Structure 1
């Protein structure tokens, strides 16, 4: 008999039943909602004209309130978008420009230090290394 080793935590199978149960619950909820809508339409079709008119009026009022709420939400969204654009133009853009200027200054400083400090030190080290080699050769040449 072979013994099966336990899987590392990253390779353990995921819990599929919970996702499947959630999907099944959503499907059942949609089916129940559809049944209620069909039952409501059927009841309205056989109801007296007064009841149908009253339900229609209530439905129109609900739609008007929904439109009002959507309009308010749209206005709030437009105001927030204007605030975001203002923030980007007046605060983020100057920060980016200052950062770019700092990077350019740093680049110039690096080039200056490279030309005026690093290259002369390297050349001096080259000459000293050559002089040392020459002196070593002259000492051992005796």
Structure 2
């Protein structure tokens, strides 16, 4: 949590990975703090979607995502990428999917030890609250 905003040693890949980790941690902590209030949160990975992601950068990821061979062989359409979001939205928390979890291809996805660390999730929540100058329970 010491370099939450990637102010030191910035790299686009690290920032992207940190953002994905934060999304999972935040979802887990949101569930932990507010599931008793009827909030059902879930994180998911839509897949490698053919969008204009990294289109406005000179980083090598621009070339990875926008090379025709890569784009045609390894990415999915935005409609297919939205499929999991639609499945989650139409599903029933606790029945179709489990709140507080991370999903990929409509199944609970493996995640890193960091992503399952409740103390790290709490620290992220608290640090985010401080950055936003809000008080949370």
Query: Under a length normalisation based on structure 1, what TM-score does the superposition of the two structures give?
Result: 0.19
Bigger fraction of residues in strand:
2
Bigger fraction of residues in helix:
1
Which structure is larger by alpha-carbon Rg, 1 or 2? 1
